[in-house]
Structure 1
């Protein structure tokens, strides 16, 4: 009996030892996997700091849905500065002042309920360039993790340049150049202040709003955006991306 008890304890210890070794190996490979994914993401962010974003998940989805998309990447120098100011005034007036998250806007969004968004241009750029559209907690967590890394690596002017080239300005129409050509038949560099404000006014809902045939709401919104663009130019909140 005593021998059997000793053998049983020995077998139990061996089983527990193997389980601990397996757990250690699993944790080690899990950590390696996490660090590997993080390293790949950082490399991806660094790459996009220099090269045009070739496509996005949402563009691929729209291409499949519509049978094609309109898109033409242009450098920031080939986008009218008034469009950059209009988009910032419309979407994220404190773009030059925050590090990726506008805490006052987030507090206001929470106070006013779910219908009001608090995402900055930086967050929207991360969502459009690296992630997918949707409201899942996984996507929001990834967005929150990637945004400060992108802000650390990219200058503000690059963040805005990428955003202006991948934002949707009409169904299946992506980027400032394609948007300007689609709505007004001009290059992005030649947009007037009025045209720029109209394009910025459709950004929250390009599937329903039309810059070239604006509703009364879009017209009112564009006038407000034009005033905001002039304001941020005067008070210095456009300095971080100005020529």
Structure 2
């Protein structure tokens, strides 16, 4: 009896289609951006309660100079007039905006970009998380992170961190080191005039001196003294004063 011969299925199995290389790249970039965003959000959330040990700029200066002078100080241990002075000098409407001072930006545009409109919040983002220098990449990242910082940090925390990481002279960072460097006092002992002079040397601390003020610094310090008194009276200092 002849055996029945069965034909084997000669049809080859379909091989899975190769994934489009462009799609793979896009998927990788999407995941990378998502992970990076989560990391940044985590750092900002952490910064709301944990004091930064250093900053990118401070680290670079430390390597270049062989060390920097910086000691953390709580805002409660800083003369209240110092906080008012730096806000009056850098961002008088700090308590009324959400990270961007739109009227100041409009005015800066009308003036042809000859004056800055960077808020204290923007400067804090730049000082703590980014790098110094004028380029569109940094400005774009600063614009993205500033509203996040405003949403997560209190206004008081922003002022506190800013005062502790701002550069006041070559290798001198933070108000505690600055008060000692220029006047030989602790930050809670700063007088109104001394605080105004420290605020007046920003944003050019390497070209100005608080202890040996030029005519320009003295004039600017007088204006800051007046501005600090004004924001104290009209309530624009209430968001960072307890």
Q: Same fold (TM over 0.5)?
A: yes
* Structure 2 match to 1:53: 52
* Structure 1 match to 2:143: 144
SS at match of 1:214: coil
**Structure 1 residue runs without a partner (length 5+):** 1-13
* Structure 2 match to 1:73: 72
* Structure 1 match to 2:179: 180
The answer on 1:156 being equivalent to 2:155 is: yes
* Structure 2 match to 1:18: 18
Distance 1:98 1:217 in 2: 29
Structure 1 residue runs of 4+, over 6 Å off? none
- 1:38-63: per-residue Cα shift (whole Å, max 9, x none)? 00000000111111111111112221
Output aligned runs, 1:1-243, within 5 Å.
18=18, 20=20, 22-243=21-242
Distance 1:112 1:240 in 2: 30
SS at match of 1:134: coil
Distance 1:42 1:211 in 2: 36
**Structure 2 residue runs without a partner (length 5+):** 1-14
Distance 2:31 2:184 in 1: 51
- 1:168-196: per-residue Cα shift (whole Å, max 9, x none)? 11111100100101010001111000100
Q: Greater helix share, 1 or 2?
A: 1
> How big is the alpha-carbon RMSD for the aligned residues of Structure 1 and Structure 2?
1.4
Q: CA deviation at 1:30?
A: 1.7
Distance 2:171 2:113 in 1: 26
Greater Rg over alpha carbons, structure: 2
- 1:204-238: per-residue Cα shift (whole Å, max 9, x none)? 10010100000111011101100000000000000
TM-score normalised according to structure 2 size: 0.91
- 1:80-130: per-residue Cα shift (whole Å, max 9, x none)? 110000000000000000000001111111121233111000000000000
How many residues are paired up? 228
Distance 1:204 1:108 in 2: 19
Distance 1:32 1:19 in 2: 17
Structure 1, 150-159 or 108-117: larger mean CA deviation: 108-117
TM-score normalised according to structure 1 size: 0.91
